[in-house]
Structure 1
Amino acid sequence: MAKNGSRRPPLVADKRYARPARKTAETRKPKRRSPRPPKPPRRRRHWLIALPLALVRWMWRVVFKLSLTAAVAAALLLGAGILYYTASMPPLDKLVDGRARGSVTLLDRNGEVFAWRGEQFGGLITVENVSEVLKNAVVATEDKRFYRHFGVSPRGIAGAIRINLSEGRGPLSGHGGSTITQQTAKLVCLGVPYDPASGMTEAEYEADCRESSLWRKVKEAVYAMALETRFSKDEILTIYLNRAFLGSGAYGFEAASQRYFGKPASEVDTSEAAVLAGALTAPTRYAPTNDLDRSWERALTVIKLMEEQGYLTAAEAERARNAPAELSEAAEARAGGYFADWMMNTGPSFLTRDTTEDVFIRTTFDQKIQKAAEEALAWVFENKVSPESKAQAAIVVMSSDGAVRAMVGGRKTQVTGAFNRATMAMRQTGSAFKPFVYAAALDLGWRYDSIIEDAPITIDIPGSGPWSPTNYTNDFRGWVTLTDALANSLNIPAVKLSEAVGRENVRTVAGMFGIESDLALGPALALGASESTLLEMTGAYAGILNGGSSVTPYGLVELRLLGDDAPLMEQEGGIGERVITPAAAEQLIYMMHQVMLRGSGQRANLPDREAAGKTGTTTAARDAWFLGFTADYVAGVWMGYDDNTPLKGTTGGGLPAEIWRETMVRVHKDLPPRPLPMIKPDAPPVVSEGTGGPNGWPGNDGGRVRSPAPAPDSLLGVLRTILGIDN
């Protein structure tokens, strides 16, 4: 029978280790802590000390909080400024050409560049296609840490401040410590655009670009960091290379390289690169066309910096120092400044002075003839004129169709924007006007051998009273031929002839030949009392040479825009309508030839070819002229003082005739002689014995001259036919 109820429980070994009982809150013993030493009783400061200390602590907390707030705000503003400039910044291709105006490139008659005007831009260059030595020169000179900073160089700014203070200037005056990126910021965003119409000079433009105020520096820094955010280092340098102003109207290194050295920026050597990089410091001062020696001294500093920074080896630097940069022929000559200014002032303003395009103008200008004129003027003043003299002179040389070949507007020849005495100075013409009196007479039937009496005459001028002209020599020669009267520049015969043919006819002939200024109404018209410019007078004499047709002096042959093949403007010549008959012109040229052979212009006579001309001297010798021509060229010379001071011992047959001669000898150096288009009488005309009488205008036949009717194809012949006026 089972005994389930009395079954004993199984044996189990006792646990070797008993689990400790959990401590309750009641049984947990508190940890012992080492007793702290009792705090000493705080000594109370006297209120006179405690109060200031409390105030200092309070102010420190306020300043700290305000500084922290300001720093956070500044950081936010800086970030906002950078984001704003970065977002509003145009793409790279819009930043490389920042000119406000276009440029005008002037070419001579052979297609060679001789002058530039406006804001010259040579075309886009990049870091990849520019000369490596030029890129290195710019970095070495302007910002040696360019590839290592973030747009602003604290070290550079600190160094610039230290230098400025050590040199006795303000911290922001002088050295600026600007990086290339900051300078690019100036060019892109911050400078005032150059606008000559506002009266701003290039020097003032440079000064504005280099403004060093604190606010300008802050703006530059923000924009510079924005540039660094938007563009790569090479792209920033590309903008700088294209926009930097380098003097003489050149913007960008391509324009400057072409302007100074006649080659692209990809081909400049070390010396040329150093000159260009050196001009960045002060473009007007260091432009090589202003002072090549000073420019080269600055370039030597650039070469030294390139050597120190490892861009050049010692041997390369030494070679560069021993091979100074040389200007191109066009840049060295700086020829045609007066001519170029004349073209800019007479051409369409929207394609010259105010152009926003890049314009090329091919002209009539001849650099060899210009050089000849400049050398002639310099030679005469060096050898014939007192060094203290302030007298001025001007020269114009042109072809018989009015194509201006050379123009000298004053003794200083390498100028831009100077007062041009050849085109701007209105001066009395004196006896240089007389050929137009004789032209009118010859066209009306008078002859080169007609005679006229050189005797006292008095003319009553309404409102002024009697007027009695005199000759320069204060004597009278009696009966003389028209040829002798002109050759010896006799005043009385000229006045009598003018009165005989009619002052109105004389004014008409002169006006038709191109003298556009107001001509005198009284009898003094015949003696050159009216004013004109040298350019007008030379053009009028060209009309005599070409057979009696009017001439408009011109310089523009073709005008086109950069990149266009078809010209916008063209001109082939300046000859206009006929003024006097060819027969009258041939006689007049012969008479003017006699001026050179045996008259007042003998000092201008040329040794190897025929020439014709006329002297001119005004009252009190305030103006002295000589104008004349060969079969090839017409030239005019004026001499005088800008303030109308009388010339001492100088007439048109003196120094102006010598300047004319020296000019034309040089101009015709390699040209074969050609005869003048004039009549060829067997001998000069003379007055026959027994000729003359007090009652008329005798001719060689001893009787009163009744000249043949003027040819119908002449201006005066047409007028007289229309009006029915008998001879």
Structure 2
Amino acid sequence: MKRLFLWGGGLALLGCIALAIAVLFAARSIPSYYQLKASQHGQTIIVRARDGSQLVELGPSFGVWLDSEEIPDAMKEAMVAVEDRRFRMHPGVDPIGLARAVYEWATGDKRIGATSTITQQLARNLFLNSNRTVDRKLREAVLAMALETKFTKDEILELYLNKVYFGGGAYGIDSASWKFFSHSGTELSVAEAAIIAGMVKAPSRYSPTADVDRAVDRAKVVLRLMREQGVISPSQASIDVSTVRLKQDRSQNSVRYFTDWALPQLDLLLPETFEPIEVWTTLDPKLQDAAAAAIKANAPKGAQGALVSLDRDGAILAMIGGTDYVESNYNRAVQSVRQPGSAWKLFVYLAALEAGYTPEDRVKDTPTTIEGWTPRNSGGGYAGEIDVRTAFAYSKNTVAAQLGNEVGFGTVARMARRLGITTPVSTYPSMVLGTNETRVIDMTQAFAAISAKGESVQPYGIIRVTTASGDVLYQHERRRTSQLVPDYVAAGITDLLQTAVNTGTGRAAQIGRPVAGKTGTTNSNKDGWFLGFSSGITTGVWMGRDDAKPVGGLQGGRAPARAFADFMKVAVRDRPVEEFDTQVQLPEWQLEPDDEYFFGDPDDYYFIDEQGNLIEPGMRDEGPGENPFAIDGEFGDDPLRQDGEVDVRSGNQSPEPRQRRLPRAVDEDFLEEATGREIPEQPAGNTRAPSGSVRGEPIRSTRSPAGQE
């Protein structure tokens, strides 16, 4: 026993000496109080709406540093009561608490817990990680004692209260006070101090913005401990914590769908910086709330919803990526790709209008088969001869298929690309009915271009970025626009879109002022769409299940159209009513009144055959009485026309396969006049081009007898 006592005492003495040396060296390596006060890690980002109001605050936020005398006594006592009741007595490590924890561990608990004092927590926050290892706990204890030897208790508590994490990016009581109560930490009441102190144990669990009831229950525990330790009176301990007014928190609502999309763009827009920044965005808080409400109110049970709304310049006014951000932060507005159904017919009819059709032209709604594929209308019936406007308004699949076949499925695909579709586009015949998957934001961008009379529209969400001191790091500059489709084509498709809402499948989208739009529904109601515009605002709505299972009532003309209407009524409320320009003014090259439009003048350098192809004069030097367009006694075929196709105007089958020929290329002057675009010069020696094509896009005559390309 004597030897055991001596050896034990000697080892204890050596351990104390080693501990003292470790604490001494640790104390010498610890930065000064002022250095610790100035250190902040991470970047704070404040995101503001278009009206300047704060949407969310992301990243670490440290608030204003509060000196010890500025911190309310209630806040100090609340923190000490719940986190370290013997704070003012121990040397950084609480021997009593440690002994109790070791005893509990030895009698059954498998880990040592509840042993960290305020000083130890400060040491961990400043210098260590949160790994639960013996090595980390030993270093934490050494650093805690080093802090106690270097700083006073008031300085340690001041550092702790200004550095501790309270959740939601808030570090320190001033930042937490602003985040949860909208006022400075110097004004904290006893009840508010209890709520903040109660969060330290588990910020995500006891945050009042995450679970108010749980935060209130935890605050009541803090008040009870404060009363038991005699730092507050019984009357103060009986305060009704549930009456504390909390600041509305947008960090977990639908706004995050937008910020999750917009903020990653800062990596490309800004130089590398770690100082706090403010991001001014295009989002309208009122419209964002209206969009969230419209999706929640109209999405069928079990279905998700997405919405994107663009101003006339491409500014994103609202973005919804799902029915509940907390439940699912997957942004279906920009990440999900789904089939658009008949909403894709926008590109089919745009290609047809650009090829020469007008809304009044007569077409045949009759059964048709294209390459073995037989499309059917939604109701199963056929209307016979109708005009283009009616075919679009009632979303006739057979007419869309015939138009796509006539202008070329590649032409439809190029039209979709031209208007902003970024996902892969196939050219199978069924593509005209929306079998290609696409994104909500891409489809909305395409409709926005039509609202802009054919000019390009590029969605954007960030207006400018400034530092905390006001220096501008980035300023949005409007990009140069380009004419994607001629204005008369935009006017024609707007006519069709307006009719679809007035009398067609989109009647549920009416809002008491002119609206142009299109519904979309996929097989078995797996996807429902409505996209449209009014008074300069373009909005796209999608609804469906993530697992693509059928949903009842999901037709584009029902739930999506109603959600569109609910949102747009709020969006355009303060905007003047705008009538659409649907007057189709065809260019001069489509308005020639005489037969020279078909055959050309013999004295002209070029002339046009009855298929609409341009032929040089030397190509028509046939003998007297011969048909200048005949080859072996028959007319030449359009090389882009498929044999056996149905002419959508006449409903007749084309002749059997015949010998084909490729005409000479047209000159640049004619193309510039015909398309309204500047045609780049061809390289030397390049004198031929595919028949009927301009930059890879077929040209079609409006008045061609057979309606061919």
TM-score under structure 1 length normalisation: 0.77
Determine if contact 1:114/1:334 at 8 Å carries over to the other structure. no
Determine if contact 1:279/1:287 at 8 Å carries over to the other structure. yes
Determine if contact 2:515/2:532 at 8 Å carries over to the other structure. yes
Q: 1: distance between equivalents of 2:527 and 2:254?
A: 26
1:529 matched to which residue of 2?
Answer: 435
The 5 Å alignment of 1:589-668 reads 589-606=494-511, 608-668=512-572
1:582 matched to which residue of 2?
Answer: 487
Q: Which amino acid aligns with 2:257?
A: Y
User: Aligned-pair distance for 1:453?
Assistant: 1.4
Identity %: 33
| 1:370 corresponds to which of 288, 298, 309 | 288
Determine if contact 1:720/1:726 at 8 Å carries over to the other structure. no
1:394 correspondence with 2:394: no
1:569 correspondence with 2:474: yes
Q: Which amino acid aligns with 2:487?
A: P
2:245 matched to which residue of 1?
Answer: 326
Q: 1:308 to 1:76 in 2, by over 3 A?
A: same
1:686 matched to which residue of 2?
Answer: none
Unaligned ranges ≥5, structure 2: 585-644, 651-669, 681-691, 702-709
Q: String of CA shifts for 1:479-515, please: whole Å, max 9, x gaps.
A: 2222111111111211222233333332232222211
The 5 Å alignment of 1:269-280 reads 269-280=189-200
Q: Which amino acid aligns with 2:350?
A: A
Determine if contact 1:307/1:314 at 8 Å carries over to the other structure. yes
The 5 Å alignment of 1:295-314 reads 295-314=215-234
Determine if contact 1:580/1:714 at 8 Å carries over to the other structure. no
Q: 2: distance between equivalents of 1:454 and 1:667?
A: 37
Q: Which amino acid aligns with 1:127?
A: S
Q: 2: distance between equivalents of 1:390 and 1:427?
A: 17
Q: 1: distance between equivalents of 2:481 and 2:62?
A: 38
Q: 1:112 to 1:696 in 2, by over 3 A?
A: same
Determine if contact 2:402/2:648 at 8 Å carries over to the other structure. no
Q: 2: distance between equivalents of 1:638 and 1:574?
A: 28
Q: 2: distance between equivalents of 1:695 and 1:321?
A: 78
Q: String of CA shifts for 1:31-54, please: whole Å, max 9, x gaps.
A: xxxxxxxxxxxxxxxxxxxxxxxx
| 1:181 corresponds to which of 111, 119, 128 | 119
| 1:112 corresponds to which of 53, 56, 63 | 53
| 1:513 corresponds to which of 398, 413, 419 | 419
Determine if contact 1:443/1:714 at 8 Å carries over to the other structure. no
Determine if contact 1:596/1:603 at 8 Å carries over to the other structure. yes
Q: String of CA shifts for 1:144-172, please: whole Å, max 9, x gaps.
A: 33233321222333455677889x64462
SS in 2 for 1:531: coil
SS in 2 for 1:66: helix
Determine if contact 2:543/2:554 at 8 Å carries over to the other structure. no
SS in 2 for 1:661: helix
Q: Which amino acid aligns with 1:614?
A: K
Q: String of CA shifts for 1:617-659, please: whole Å, max 9, x gaps.
A: 1233321111112114221111111112122343111211122
Q: 2: distance between equivalents of 1:126 and 1:536?
A: 52
Determine if contact 1:365/1:555 at 8 Å carries over to the other structure. yes
Q: 1:444 to 1:646 in 2, by over 3 A?
A: same
| 2:143 corresponds to which of 199, 220, 223 | 223
SS in 2 for 1:83: helix
Q: String of CA shifts for 1:223-276, please: whole Å, max 9, x gaps.
A: 111001122222222321232121123222233223222333223333322211
| 2:94 corresponds to which of 153, 170, 185 | 153
2:338 matched to which residue of 1?
Answer: 427
Q: 1: distance between equivalents of 2:23 and 2:362?
A: 91
User: Aligned-pair distance for 1:419?
Assistant: 1.0
Determine if contact 1:455/1:478 at 8 Å carries over to the other structure. yes
Q: 1: distance between equivalents of 2:264 and 2:169?
A: 17
User: Aligned-pair distance for 1:446?
Assistant: 2.3
2:578 matched to which residue of 1?
Answer: 675
Q: 1:277 to 1:473 in 2, by over 3 A?
A: same
Q: String of CA shifts for 1:297-347, please: whole Å, max 9, x gaps.
A: 1112222333343443344444x4266322213448844011111123343
SS in 2 for 1:151: coil
Question: Looking at CA atoms only, which structure, 1 or 2, has the larger radius of gyration?
Answer: 1
Greater alpha carbon shift after TM alignment, 438-447 vs 481-490: 438-447
C-alpha RMSD of matched pairs (Å): 3.1
Q: String of CA shifts for 1:176-227, please: whole Å, max 9, x gaps.
A: 14221111111122215xxxxxxxxxxxxxxx4xx3x544433222111100
2:458 matched to which residue of 1?
Answer: 552
User: Aligned-pair distance for 1:104?
Assistant: 2.1
Determine if contact 1:487/1:599 at 8 Å carries over to the other structure. yes
1:172 correspondence with 2:112: yes
Greater alpha carbon shift after TM alignment, 485-494 vs 584-593: 584-593
Q: 2: distance between equivalents of 1:285 and 1:92?
A: 32
Q: Which amino acid aligns with 1:628?
A: G
Q: Which amino acid aligns with 1:678?
A: D
Q: String of CA shifts for 1:533-578, please: whole Å, max 9, x gaps.
A: 1111112211111111122211111122333x22211214467322
1:38 matched to which residue of 2?
Answer: none
Q: 2: distance between equivalents of 1:400 and 1:236?
A: 56
User: Aligned-pair distance for 1:126?
Assistant: 3.1
Q: Which amino acid aligns with 1:602?
A: R
User: Aligned-pair distance for 1:680?
Assistant: 6.5
Q: 1: distance between equivalents of 2:378 and 2:83?
A: 68
The 5 Å alignment of 1:120-131 reads 120-131=61-72
Q: 1:637 to 1:725 in 2, by over 3 A?
A: closer
Determine if contact 2:451/2:536 at 8 Å carries over to the other structure. no
Q: Which amino acid aligns with 2:486?
A: T
The 5 Å alignment of 1:68-107 reads 68-96=9-37, 101-107=42-48
Q: Which amino acid aligns with 2:502?
A: L
Aligned residues: 610
Greater alpha carbon shift after TM alignment, 141-150 vs 277-286: 141-150
User: Aligned-pair distance for 1:600?
Assistant: 0.7
Q: Which amino acid aligns with 1:390?
A: G
SS in 1 for 2:68: coil
| 1:477 corresponds to which of 380, 383, 398 | 383
Q: 2: distance between equivalents of 1:501 and 1:715?
A: 20
SS in 2 for 1:361: strand
User: Aligned-pair distance for 1:434?
Assistant: 1.0
Q: Which amino acid aligns with 2:399?
A: P
Q: Which amino acid aligns with 2:93?
A: V
Greater alpha carbon shift after TM alignment, 516-525 vs 252-261: 252-261
Unaligned ranges ≥5, structure 1: 1-59, 193-207, 461-465, 682-693, 700-707
Q: 2: distance between equivalents of 1:171 and 1:721?
A: 76
The 5 Å alignment of 1:53-72 reads 60-72=1-13
Determine if contact 1:448/1:482 at 8 Å carries over to the other structure. yes
